[in-house]
Amino acid sequence: MSRRLISTSPTPGPQGDSERPPKRPRIDHLTPDSFRNGIFLAPMVRSGALPTRLMALKHGATLVWGPEMVDKAILHAEREVDPVTGVISYNGKTRAMFTTHPLEKPYLIYQIGSADPELAVQAAKTVMQDISGVDLNCGCPKPFSTHAGMGAALLTNPDLLCGILEALRRELPREISVSAKIRLLSTQEETKKLVERIARTGVNAITVHCRTRNMRPRERALVERLKEIVEFVQGLGLDVAIIQNGDCTGREDAKRIRDLTGADSVMIATAAESNPSCFSAIPLRDVESTLSPSYLRLCKYLDNHWASTKFCVTQFKGVRSEVSKMDAHELKSRIAKAKGYESLDDIVGSWTGEEEFKEISRIVEARQPRISAEAEQEEVSEEEDIPPPCATPPDRPNPEPPKSGAPKMGLRMPMPAILTGSNMVSPTPTPGGLR
């Protein structure tokens, strides 16, 4: 192994440590590894609002998906930044269509509903300064999505589906990840064939909702079908993460699902809609008193639209130990009837939404920065190539140099003037000296 040459001994620092070359800076964008060993917030049209995404990050979500946005809808939006809170809004004619915050950018995947490669690229470029990845919705079975050839309709049009993904990967910067979210097809062979085509478009990840297009949420997800698909993708030798979606209830359940399927990560929807703290090893109990008030304070501070806030809070539910069923029902009823934040003072107490946001910021910013596997290996190699510092300890005098028997500098004989061209006693040059 090669060694770097060091010209001088480093100077010991205050604790006897010497300066070392700075490590390679860690990356702040997504890589294929970012989609592995994680637990993600799923895209949800109404419930995936900015406050919910921030709460999910606070409680341990690795990445968060924004709600699906139809490509054309965002193209004419006006981007506006709140100078106080930093919230970024993409505003339509009457209200914000999509809101985000720089705090979530390193973890935010923007989901697009599209049936047109060119429009999908335009939509992605409109928001790419505020996101880390783009996901194509290929699984939504709702008529508002499928009637225009988007969502689950793409499952029966793989040429168009892959054409959109290829356009996104080709036209977007490499630091913007590209992924797709699909559903199971009727047979394993059909599903594997589609997954292979998607994997070869250059995507970073594929999320598989373990239900078919015609299955409803109340029907059990076919989680057991995913293992064969995961093994199939691994056999292709492609660097594509497979994410499981469907019926996961929380962090502990995600471990069970990964063990069962071999999936790289797990995505949570319904359980996160009910309790955004489900990503934590210890989810909040009595959400009516432990989650709803702080969520309302955060929403008011971020100027989240009241209709969105009301919908999200009324979906909260979970294990109760101190709040009675009657009290929980009364709270939801009051929020559902409220016309705005002002009528809920006795529920939230002080409107300290800024403090709620600062607490979330502190937790999210304390996360370890991401680093790619390649960069991490380079760091290890560089550290191995650097020899240990060779400084003399501060409490020990410099050692005497080894004696070689050579004459000391002060006793060296003067050179003859015939060679130097000068008189060694006088600096006057000797006439006829060597030219």
Please list the active-site residues: 140
Q: Which two tokens stand for residue 249?
A: 């209830």
Residue entry with tokens 């008011």: 300
- Residue 3 near residue 385 (C-beta atoms within 8 A): yes
Q: Residues near 400 by Cβ (< 8 Å), separated by ≥ 6?
A: none
The DSSP call for residue 265 is E
3-state DSSP helix/strand/coil percent for the chain, to nearest 5?
A: 45, 15, 45
CA gap 263, 248 in Å, rounded = 13
CA gap 245, 211 in Å, rounded = 9
- Residue 113 near residue 71 (C-beta atoms within 8 A): yes
CA-nearest of 299, 323, 290 to 59 is 290
- 282 class by beta-carbon count within 10 Å (0-12 exposed, 13-18 middle, 19+ buried): exposed
> Rg of the Cα trace of the chain?
32
CA gap 178, 205 in Å, rounded = 7
The DSSP call for residue 87 is -
CA distances, 75 to each of 97, 101, 121, 124, 286 (Å): 11, 19, 10, 9, 41
b vs e for 24-59, b when ≥16 Cβ sit within 10 Å of the residue's Cβ? eeeeebbbbbbbbebbbbbbbbebbbbbbbbbbbbb
CA gap 57, 419 in Å, rounded = 80
Pairing of strands 265-268, 205-212: unpaired
CA-nearest of 24, 17, 106 to 62 is 106
